[in-house]
């Protein structure tokens, strides 16, 4: 009998049981909630498979714009860090063939096909 209860407990969906504490916390999403969400996009796996560069965009209703930053995540540990900052947005991270540097589009879009190159440590270089 205990074995049957254990099997049922593991296979029976818990969502069929009402939880009053959780039900009290439910509410509809508001516009402010939606604007506070961050958009994650353009993941790029490094050639050696150890890193993922990606873009995170924060939206500001006050400024009426989104600001994108390039982030870096180590695949093995999941640790993340912001790679770019400053005025404007940085987008489209790309890796060099050796995975030692990543490239992103500059905030100044007046120069086509140019970009920032950064080491994984975040230092800007050529």
Domain boundaries, the chain: 38-125
Per-residue model confidence (pLDDT) at position 116:
46
Q: Element (H or E) spanning 35, and its range? A: helix 31-36
Res. 57: pLDDT tops 60? yes
**pLDDT of 7-30, one tens digit each?**
445 544 555 555 566 556 788 999
Please give the average per-residue pLDDT across 48-67, as a whole number.
92
Res. 84: pLDDT tops 50? yes
Q: What is the DSSP letter of 14?
A: G
Q: Chain-wide mean pLDDT for the chain?
A: 74
Q: Element (H or E) spanning 41, and its range? A: strand 39-45
**Local confidence band at 45 (pLDDT 50, 70, 90 cut-offs):** very high
């Amino acid at each position: 009998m205990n074995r049957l209860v254990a099997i049922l407990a593991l296979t029976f969906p818990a969502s069929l049981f009402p939880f009053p504490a959780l039900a009290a916390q439910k509410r509809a999403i508001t516009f402010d909630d939606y604007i506070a969400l961050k958009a994650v996009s353009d993941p790029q796996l490094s050639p050696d498979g150890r890193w993922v560069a990606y873009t995170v965009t924060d939206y500001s209703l006050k400024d009426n714009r989104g600001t994108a930053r390039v982030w870096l995540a180590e695949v093995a540990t999941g640790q993340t860090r912001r790679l770019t900052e400053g005025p404007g947005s940085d987008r489209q991270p790309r890796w060099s063939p050796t995975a030692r540097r990543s490239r992103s589009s500059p905030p100044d879009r007046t120069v086509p096909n140019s970009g920032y190159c950064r080491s994984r440590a975040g230092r800007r270089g050529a």
